[in-house]
Structures are given as structure tokens and as C-alpha cells.
């Protein structure tokens, strides 16, 4: 078998590894190829064997006898980083070692990218699938590398959520933030409160066009995940080393829960507001027939929030969390905390009474009381809370981590107070923003403009922080709010290629970041999108 010089094209990897030495020669996948690793790496080994089998047309088996293969997976305690790995490809042997199975998994992801994409199936059958020789040592810059998905404004199937998790794993990202509850829909089955999904998962219509809308589509819309489906997704994610953080929004953005259980509102008898008469006929009828609360049909910030005065609110939320917590191995539970207007609390006798009895000076302190109380419950059940940066207002709960979305200010403040921070500033990593200046030729988006180059230039660690404070910046995440993303194609279009740019921001070293070089690799990477049948924003490359 001839040892050919490999072309630089063979080594275009995203995110850019820490170090890479290009060697001559190729490894050929043939009938004798076997993946081997000890029992501890069986899942990873099987994952790789399946990929190689599919790509090569050969049956590549996995064996749990380490000496019984020429693609060897192993643990190596001398590798420092928990997620670090080393990959060596020689003409007769491939070795992937990691400090943990997670590191090995990332080595596998790199190996996948060394498999030539352009090869046609016929070529593979004729000449065999080859992998170019190389030595790579690699580990991530940040420990938190996340993608968020709002499944509440629009609902996405279990299959799509899995595809989304595949994309996260392929980009060596490790967190899926699952936004499960909103004004416009409650998406997680809670056995104790069946109306959350019987009533709260369905709206009678949706506004047409950009907020405030030009009318109502008059279509019933909704869906939810059963607890069995959630378990299945969490297992799928954990096999790909993706941690799933569920978000249960409080005290604002809870309209769907209020529609199901009106006692959660300060004013159960006050009808859900229909802005500018954009509500559906069906919804209006239901309201006229004596059911004032309905699932919200428009976008934006709603005044109707959970009542902070009633004990029943906390009982309900704790019951919900009691079912949510065991479903997710995640250390963090996201409790929302953003955009909670205080108008209702100001008018509500019970909220005012609580403020008085606790000596709280304003509604911001009442919000802080709300979050603190939920934090206590979550902590007592062995988990930590993470919340949007509004939870800083009125005093930060003692162990809370912050997700900084209204720019970086909240994140900086939290890090200075020695709280963990995930950066998600809206002007840079909100993938519901337009990605191209030519907005007229883009599908409808919420607004703004964040090009793939803007994402690539993002620096998550603020210079305002001292070295010590910088350690509290765990990493960054892109948020994908789905008000205007009605289909999965649309979601793919909005995240690709921006997600690919973000993956390098959170994984690769700051020094190695180079837009020209990345653009070249990205262009090649799009062939992977094509091979996977993904929809993506092609014209963004001309920016």
C-alpha cells in the first residue's frame, strides 16, 4: 500500500486543536480494522466503530480487549485536562488517549474530521477509506461550552433535539441548555400537575409576522415531552458527553403555567392580555366563556407573573422541581429569572404583605427573596441554580451562577462577587439575530445583526476582571430563541455556521484564533454540513 504525501486539506479541523504535527502516510480502514478499548470505554468505542463502519462500508467491530485492535482507545492519567486527549494516527495504528472517557470522545470527534468528506461512496469502495497520519494534543480553553434551545415559542421533536445534541457533540461543546417553559407553552410533563401539559402545552393561535404582528394564524399549536422522552434524550446526550441543563422559568415567563393553574397569578380573575387585538378567535371565545387565563399567543414581556405572596406558588414550584431534578444528572438547574415586571406585585395585597413582614424595601428585594427561596430548595436537593443576570437585582442568592445576557455587565459583577458565570451577551451570541446585513433577503429574525465573523471575534473573558476573578468565567453559550423559528430547517439556518465559529471561541486557545485561517477551514467544513443534510446560511461567507 503506497504511502502518499497528505495534502493540507486533509487536516482542516474545527475547533482548531492546541497542537498538531502532520506526518506522512495514511491509515487504511479495511476488513482487519478493529476498534479496541477496555470496558470503561465501551460506549465511545462502539460510537467510533459505528461511524467507521458507516463511512467505509466495512464492518468495523469493537472489542473490549485492549490488545485486540489497531484503533486503540485508552485512559491516560498523565494528561492534565479532564477533557484533554491525544490522538496519533500512523499507517498501521491509531491511538486515542484521554484523561477521561470525555477526552477520548473528543479525540474521536477529531478523528471523524480527519476522514475525507469529499470521497464518493464509489471511491471508498474502490480505494478504501483512509485517514491521514498525524499527532494531535488538545484540550479546551473553557469548561462550559453551551448551546441553548427554546422549545417553548416553537416546539421541536425528540428527533430534532437529538440532532441538535449531535451537533453540539460534533463541535466539542458540552452543554445543552433546554428552555422548557414559557408564556407561550409548557413543554415538560409533570405528573402531579397534569394540566401543565393538557392546557399549558397548547395555544389557540400565534401572531403572524414580527411582533406585534399583523394578525393571528388561528391555528392550535403545541406539544410537550413526556418524562420518558426526557430520560431518553438525557441518556442520548450523556452518551455524547453533553450535559443537559433544564430551565424552569420563574417568577416571570410563566404564562402557560398560569393558564393551567390560575392561582399562580396574583390576579386569577384578570384575563390574559391580548395585545393590539391580535388574539385568536378561539382564545377570545374561551375567555368570554369564563376562563380568563389562556396560553399567550404573542411575543414579548408579559405582566402576568407568579405571585410572590402566596405560599401555594412556592409549593407548586417545589413540587415541579421535585419531578424535574431527578430527570437530569446536571449539577445546575436553570431557574430563569429574567424579565419579571413588578406591576402585579405592586398591586397585590399578598405580595405587599410578604414584603412588609420580611422588611423588604422594594419589589426587587421581593424578587431576590423569591430566587433565594427556590435556591434553598434546589440546594437542599443536591443541585445548584443558574439564572439570567436579573437575579443580581435585589441581592444575589448565595450559591447562584449567573448567565449574563444583557451584555457582559451582569457577568462581570457576578465574577467580582465570586459567583460562577456563563457569558451569553445578546449582541454577540444571540443566534436569533440576523446574520447578514441584507435583512430583506433573510428569513424573519428578531432584529439585530451578528455575523459569523462577529461571533468568531468574541472574547468571553472580560478584560475588566483580575486574573483571580477571570476564573469565575466558566465559558460561553449561544442562545436560540425560537419566536420566529417555526421549523427545524430554520433553526439549522440560524445556528450554522455561527455555532461552528463559537465552538472555536470556547475550545481553542486565544492565541490561535485567526479569522482568515478559520474561514478557510469553515468553507471546507460546510461539506460536512452538506453530507449531513443540514441547512445553513451559505451567503454569510461573502460578508
SS (H, E, C) 126-195: HHCEEEEEEEEEECCCCCEEEEEEECCCCCCCHHHHHHHHHHHHHCCCCEEEEECECCCCECECCCCCCH
By CB under 6 A, tell whether 405 contacts ligand NAG. Answer: yes
Binding mask 463-482 for ligand NAG (x = CB under 6 A): ------------------x-
Based on CB atoms, which residue is closest to ligand NAG, 369 or 481?
A: 481
Answer for the pair 97, 76: CB distance below 8 angstroms, yes or no. yes
| C-alpha span between 372 and 222 (Å, rounded) | 32
Answer for the pair 535, 496: CB distance below 8 angstroms, yes or no. yes
By CB under 6 A, tell whether 444 contacts ligand NAG. Answer: no
By CB under 6 A, tell whether 247 contacts ligand NAG. Answer: no
Based on CB atoms, which residue is closest to ligand NAG, 304 or 432?
A: 432
Answer for the pair 518, 500: CB distance below 8 angstroms, yes or no. no
Classify strands 202-203 and 221-222 as parallel, antiparallel or unpaired. antiparallel
By CB under 6 A, tell whether 449 contacts ligand NAG. Answer: no
Cell of 263: 392561582
Strands of 35-37's sheet, edge to edge? 19-29, 129-138, 85-90, 93-98, 71-75, 35-37, 62-63
Q: Smallest distance from the beta carbon of 479 to ligand NAG, in angstroms?
A: 6
Q: Smallest distance from the beta carbon of 268 to ligand NAG, in angstroms?
A: 24
Answer for the pair 499, 477: CB distance below 8 angstroms, yes or no. no
Binding mask 481-520 for ligand NAG (x = CB under 6 A): x-x-------------------------------------
Q: Which of 430, 493, 518, 536 binds ligand NAG (CB under 6 A)?
A: 430
By CB under 6 A, tell whether 338 contacts ligand NAG. Answer: yes
By CB under 6 A, tell whether 339 contacts ligand NAG. Answer: yes
Residue with cell 433577503: 441
| C-alpha dihedral sign at 286, 287, 288, 291 | positive
Helix or strand (DSSP H, E) at 251:
none
By CB under 6 A, tell whether 388 contacts ligand NAG. Answer: yes
Q: Smallest distance from the beta carbon of 278 to ligand NAG, in angstroms?
A: 17
Q: Smallest distance from the beta carbon of 63 to ligand NAG, in angstroms?
A: 48
Q: Smallest distance from the beta carbon of 389 to ligand NAG, in angstroms?
A: 8
By CB under 6 A, tell whether 432 contacts ligand NAG. Answer: yes
Q: Smallest distance from the beta carbon of 483 to ligand NAG, in angstroms?
A: 6
Q: Smallest distance from the beta carbon of 405 to ligand NAG, in angstroms?
A: 4
| C-alpha span between 501 and 164 (Å, rounded) | 16
By CB under 6 A, tell whether 393 contacts ligand NAG. Answer: no
By CB under 6 A, tell whether 155 contacts ligand NAG. Answer: no
| C-alpha span between 35 and 37 (Å, rounded) | 7
Binding site for ligand NAG (CB under 6 A): 338-339, 388, 405, 430, 432, 446, 481, 483
Amino acid at each position: 500500500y503506497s504511502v502518499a504525501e497528505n495534502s493540507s486539506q486533509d487536516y482542516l479541523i474545527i475547533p482548531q486543536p492546541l497542537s498538531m504535527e502532520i506526518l506522512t502516510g495514511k491509515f487504511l480502514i479495511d476488513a482487519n480494522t478493529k476498534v479496541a478499548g477496555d470496558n470503561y470505554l465501551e460506549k465511545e468505542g462502539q460510537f467510533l466503530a459505528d461511524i467507521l463502519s458507516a463511512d467505509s462500508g466495512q464492518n468495523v467491530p469493537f472489542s473490549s480487549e485492549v490488545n485486540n485492535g489497531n484503533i486503540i482507545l485508552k485512559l491516560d492519567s498523565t494528561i492534565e485536562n479532564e477533557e484533554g486527549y491525544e490522538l496519533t494516527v500512523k499507517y498501521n495504528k491509531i491511538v486515542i488517549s484521554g484523561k477521561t472517557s470525555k477526552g477520548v470522545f473528543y479525540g474521536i470527534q477529531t478523528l471523524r474530521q480527519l476522514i475525507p468528506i469529499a470521497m464518493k461512496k464509489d471511491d471508498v469502495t474502490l480505494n478504501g477509506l483512509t485517514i491521514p497520519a498525524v499527532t494531535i494534543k488538545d484540550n479546551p480553553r473553557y469548561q462550559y461550552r453551551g448551546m441553548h434551545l427554546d422549545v417553548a415559542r416553537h416546539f421541536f421533536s425528540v428527533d430534532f433535539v437529538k440532532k441538535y445534541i449531535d451537533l453540539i457533540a460534533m463541535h466539542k461543546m458540552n452543554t445543552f441548555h433546554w428552555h422548557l417553559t414559557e408564556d407561550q407553552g409548557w413543554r415538560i410533563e409533570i405528573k402531579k400537575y397534569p394540566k401543565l401539559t393538557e392546557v399549558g402545552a397548547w395555544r389557540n393561535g400565534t401572531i403572524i409576522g414580527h411582533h406585534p404582528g399583523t394578525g393571528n394564524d388561528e391555528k392550535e399549536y403545541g406539544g410537550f415531552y413526556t418524562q420518558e422522552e426526557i430520560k431518553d434524550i438525557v441518556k442520548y446526550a450523556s452518551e455524547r458527553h453533553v450535559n443537559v441543563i433544564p430551565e424552569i422559568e420563574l417568577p416571570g415567563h410563566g404564562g402557560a403555567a398560569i393558564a393551567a393553574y390560575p392561582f399562580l397569578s396574583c390576579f386569577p380573575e384578570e384575563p390574559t392580555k391580548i395585545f393590539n387585538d391580535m388574539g385568536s378567535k378561539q382564545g377570545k371565545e374561551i375567555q368570554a366563556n369564563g376562563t380568563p387565563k389562556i396560553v399567550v399567543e404573542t411575543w414579548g414581556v408579559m405582566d402576568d407573573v407568579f405571585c410572590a405572596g402566596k405560599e401555594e406558588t412556592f409549593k407548586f414550584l417545589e413540587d415541579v422541581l421535585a419531578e424535574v431534578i431527578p430527570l437530569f444528572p446536571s449539577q445546575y438547574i436553570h431557574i430563569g429569572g429574567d424579565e419579571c415586571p413588578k406591576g402585579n406585585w405592586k398591586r397585590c395585597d399578598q405580595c405587599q404583605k410578604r414584603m412588609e413582614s420580611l422588611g423588604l424595601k422594594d419589589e426587587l428585594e421581593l424578587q431576590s427573596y423569591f430566587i433565594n427561596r427556590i435556591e434553598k430548595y434546589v440546594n437542599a436537593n443536591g443541585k445548584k441554580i443558574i439564572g439570567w443576570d436579573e437575579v443580581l437585582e435585589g441581592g444575589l442568592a448565595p450559591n447562584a451562577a449567573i448567565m449574563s445576557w444583557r451584555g457582559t455587565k451582569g457577568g462581570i459583577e457576578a465574577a467580582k462577587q465570586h459567583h460562577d458565570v456563563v457569558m451569553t451577551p445578546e449582541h454577540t451570541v444571540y443566534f436569533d439575530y440576523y446574520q447578514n446585513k441584507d435583512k430583506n433577503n433573510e428569513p424573519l429574525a428578531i432584529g439585530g445583526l451578528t455575523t459569523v465573523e462577529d461571533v468568531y471575534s468574541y472574547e468571553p473573558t472580560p478584560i475588566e476582571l483580575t486574573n483571580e476573578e477571570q476564573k469565575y468565567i466558566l465559558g460561553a453559550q449561544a442562545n436560540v430563541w425560537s419566536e420566529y423559528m417555526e421549523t427545524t430547517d430554520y433553526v439549522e439556518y440560524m445556528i450554522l455556521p455561527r455555532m461552528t465559529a463559537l465552538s472555536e471561541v470556547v475550545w481553542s486557545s486565544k492565541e490561535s484564533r485567526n479569522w482568515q485561517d478559520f474561514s478557510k477551514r469553515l468553507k471546507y467544513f460546510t461539506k460536512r454540513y452538506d453530507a449531513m443534510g443540514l441547512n445553513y446560511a451559505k451567503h454569510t461567507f461573502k460578508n
